[in-house]
Amino acid sequence: MTAPPILKPRVELRGRSSLAAFPDPKSSTTQCLRAAFLFLFSLFLVGPASFPQTSAPRAHLGFDRNDYPGDAALPILRKSFSFTSYWLSPPPGEKANTWNGKRELLRSLGFGFLLLYRGPQISELQQIWSESRFNRSDRLKAQAAKRGTGDARAAAAAAKKEGFPSHTVIFLDIEEGGRLPAVYHSYLRAWAGQLARANYRAGVYCSGMPVSEGRGATIITADDIRNNIGSRGLVYWVYNDACPPSPGCVVPQNPPPPSKSGIPYATVWQFAQSPRRKEFSARCASTYPADGNCYAPGDTARSWFLDINSADCTDPSHGK
């Protein structure tokens, strides 16, 4: 924060005759006035005081992966990372959730959290269960909103069962990038609204990368969501593994803050993925092991490939 400017007193230099207008120099009042005059004059000569510069908030590192890495991995991962993902539903493509029941162990080791719930594919929300073609758009939006409400209830119930307190942020996992259709925005508004009613906060994990829409126009999923969510406040966890701005598969002492992702309002930035996406990370390919996955520095056996994130705090979901 910039220190407020100190206003310099306007001091007019006077001749000897003007000093004679002061009251009796022996009186206490006169001495106070003279002291005040000298103090103000010294401010005029010295100028504004200097204030120490405040440094930018430090970013913190975390990891995420679909499968729980195992109890034995946690002390090793904790040496490099302050927080971890935590699924409340089966991850994409899975039928089971291996993170269930691990909150207390992770918390006891000092990990913060990134809570995740699997979001629907666009194609799922664009299906319709009625043969009627009338008001198709309105039907789709209503059905999408109904599903958003139901998924939020399930996510809140899972968070409560796992012991996460009220107002914990739950991130909806949105894998698809680009501009989202209207039905998805209907789903998201219902998702955020229902989580708020359940005393949890809504977040989204989504793309922070520009996607071409033709004729030189681009769209970023995070911006598209922000422009359509209305007054509902979302917390944004964005992925952008393009090098630059991503530094690649590295665990730096001073992690890049989420604002460096290209999304200034992001709270979390996933800057490295496993496996490496070659089309985006060619310029930092040397930072990844030969198999294309990313590992913690202490994982010499390369047992747990993971994605790497930076965040503004050590507990982005506020789930401790």
* Chain segment 38-68, per-residue pLDDT in tens: 444 443 344 444 434 445 578 999 999 999 9
According to the model, what pLDDT value does residue 228 have?
94
According to the model, what pLDDT value does residue 56 have?
57
pLDDT: is 79 or 231 the higher one? 79
According to the model, what pLDDT value does residue 31 have?
41
**Residue reference for tokens 């917390």:** 235
According to the model, what pLDDT value does residue 129 have?
54
The pairing of beta strand 217-220 with beta strand 210-214: antiparallel
CATH code of domain 60-311: 3.20.20.80
According to the model, what pLDDT value does residue 230 have?
77
Decide if 55 contacts 274 (C-beta within 8 A): no
pTM of the model: 0.81
How far is residue 67 from each of residues 63, 167, 316, measured CA to CA in Å? 12, 25, 20
Decide if 229 contacts 186 (C-beta within 8 A): no
181-208 pLDDT, tens digit each? 999 999 999 999 999 999 999 999 999 9
Three-state secondary-structure class, residue 84 = strand
Could you tell me the residue ranges of all domains in the chain?
19-44, 60-311
The angle that helices 221-228 and 182-197 make with each other, rounded to 10 degrees, is 60
243-256 pLDDT, tens digit each? 999 999 999 989 99
According to the model, what pLDDT value does residue 294 have?
98
According to the model, what pLDDT value does residue 126 have?
85
Angstrom distance (rounded) from CA 307 to CA 276: 9
